[in-house]
Chain A
Amino acid sequence: MDADRYHLALTELLMQLADDDLVVATRAGEWLGLAPHLEEDVAFSSIAQDEMGHAATYFTLLATIHGGDRDDLAHLRPALARRNSVMLERPNGRGTYRDTPHFDWAYALARHFFYDTLEMARLDRLVQSAHRPLAEAAAKIRREERYHNQHHSMWLRDIARSGPDVGRRVELALDRAAADAVDLASAGPMAAEMETFGLLPDASHLTDDWRARVAQALDPLGWALPPLRGTLNGRHGEHTQDLTQLLQDLGEVYRSSPGASW
């Protein structure tokens, strides 16, 4: 029985990791050509590429445990089978990438700051994971993730020095990101098993750890973590129409030719 629970908990964990990165990478990639200035455009796209690389790593691990093809797992699972946080699937702002994008840079920063802070808290645990392939992957990913974290913290710090108008916009953005973040720092319904089996050590303190890290970064800038809200829980497979649309766009080419070798 324990073996079944172990297998199930590991599958859930890998799905959370893989789905989070796939979705965040897609949203970050939609800034290509739209970031505030050229240098940042390149930097942010490169971060998006890193995140997609991390997703590929997690989907490879998931395919080994769950069975099936890595690309199928990424592209063909319906929205209700996804485990990503709802905050990550939200669009970058008004409009769409192809049709008059009026994206919100402050919101993108707030969301990525929240997510990357979670990633660091999670990776610090995963490097000790009882599932050795996951621990090894986490060590490699953490090296890159440190730079992502620096990127977002730096932006927030620079923006914090830019006057009250900008400050208010960031506050609004943090609030909007928090409005869908109730599930973000949660390890889902199998968190207890993840901790017991050592798959995600100290899973029970993940949320507190995340909150502490967020506060540590925001406090000196005069901002606070707004109350986390949200009626849907992505870790339970509850999602918005935004995710359905995202998956449809992302997998469009893949589904156009089933069985093709990419």
Chain B
Amino acid sequence: MTTDDSGSLADRTPPPDAGELAVYEVFAQTSERGTVEWQASLLAGSPAMALMLARENFLRRREIFDLWVVPRDAIARAKGADDFFRLPKTYREVSDYQYLVGKWRQYHQQAMTPDTMA
């Protein structure tokens, strides 16, 4: 684990309800170029405490590059807000353009006939 600060920034930023337990979502990045991936949720009294508990509970036996904790309340989510993801937009799918394969083949063949070549 390369983090050695236990969240110097987190220390300066008390949560809205200081001293109250809150749910934090835990994210980890395994390498400098790796994506930051969600690991788990936990209860903690402050961001610094959440970082410490995340290390001890979920990342004790793993090498990681960076660790994030985010109060769940700070996450804006789309679920239930609209049906954007369920709109039928087949024109955004690759499969919607399969017919082009046939068309291209057809035009290539036409292009190769002696008539068109003359």
Q: Is A158 touching B49 in the complex (CB atoms < 8 A)?
A: yes
A43 to B50, alpha carbons, bound, how many Å?
11
How far is B50's CA from A158's CA once the two chains are assembled, in angstroms? 11
Query: Do residues B19 and A150 form an inter-chain contact, with CB atoms below 8 A?
Result: no
Report A-chain residues with C-beta under 8 Å of the C-beta of B45: 158
Residues of A within 8 A of B6 (CB): 147, 150, 154
- Give the 5 A-B CB pairs with smallest separation, nearest first: A162-B19, A43-B56, A161-B18, A158-B45, A39-B53
Q: How long is the Cα–Cα vector from A40 to B42 in the complex, in angstroms?
A: 10
The answer for the CA separation of A193 and B1 in the assembled complex, in Å, is 39
Q: How far apart are the CA atoms of A39 and B58 in the complex, in Å?
A: 10
Chain A min CB distance to B52 (Å): 6
B:10-56 near A, CB below 8 Å: 14, 18-19, 21, 42-46, 48-49, 52-53, 55-56
Query: Bound complex: CA of A146 vs CA of B42, how far in Å?
Result: 23
B4 proximity list for chain A (CB < 8 A)? 146
Residue A42 is within 8 A (CB to CB) of chain B in the complex: yes
Q: Residues of B contacting A150 with CB < 8 Å?
A: 6, 52
Contact across chains for A163 and B19 when beta carbons are under 8 A apart = yes
Distance in angstroms between the alpha carbons of A157 and B42 in the assembled complex: 19
CA distance A37 to B53 in the complex (A): 11
Instruction: Report the separation of the CA atoms of residues A182 and B46 in the bound assembly, to the nearest whole angstrom.
Output: 33
The total number of A-B Cβ pairs within 8 Å is: 48
How far is B4's CA from A158's CA once the two chains are assembled, in angstroms? 20
Complexed CA–CA distance, A51 and B18 (Å) = 30
Beyond A39-B57, A42-B57, 11 additional contacts (C-beta under 8 Å) are: A39-B42, A39-B53, A39-B56, A42-B53, A42-B56, A46-B56, A46-B60, A147-B52, A154-B52, A158-B18, A166-B19
| Between-chain CB contacts (< 8 Å), 8 pairs | A37-B21, A37-B43, A40-B53, A43-B57, A46-B56, A46-B60, A47-B56, A147-B6
For residue A43, which residues in chain B have a CB less than 8 angstroms away from its CB? 52-53, 56-57
- Which residues of B approach A to under 8 Å, CB–CB? 4, 6, 14, 18-19, 21, 42-46, 48-49, 52-53, 55-57, 60
The docked-state distance in angstroms from the alpha carbon of A226 to that of B60 is 36
Main secondary structure on chain A at its contact with chain B?
helix
| Residues in chain A within 8 A of chain B (CB atoms) | 37-40, 42-43, 46-47, 146-147, 150-151, 154-155, 157-159, 161-163, 166
Which of B19, B55, B60 has a CB less than 8 Å from the CB of A158? B19
Q: How far is the CA of A154 from the CA of B7 in the complex (A)?
A: 11
Q: Is the CB of B18 within 8 A of A162?
A: yes
Contacts of A162 in B (CB 8 A): 18-19
CA distance A11 to B36 in the complex (A): 49
Residues on the A chain within 8 Å of B44, using CB? 39
Distance in angstroms from A157 CB to nearest chain B CB is 8
Min Cβ gap B17→A in Å is 10
Q: For A37, what are the chain B residues with a Cβ–Cβ distance below 8 Å?
A: 21, 43
Q: Chain B residues with Cβ under 8 A from A161's Cβ?
A: 14, 18-19
A161 to B60, CA, bound (A): 28
Alpha-carbon distance A162/B19, docked complex (angstroms)? 5
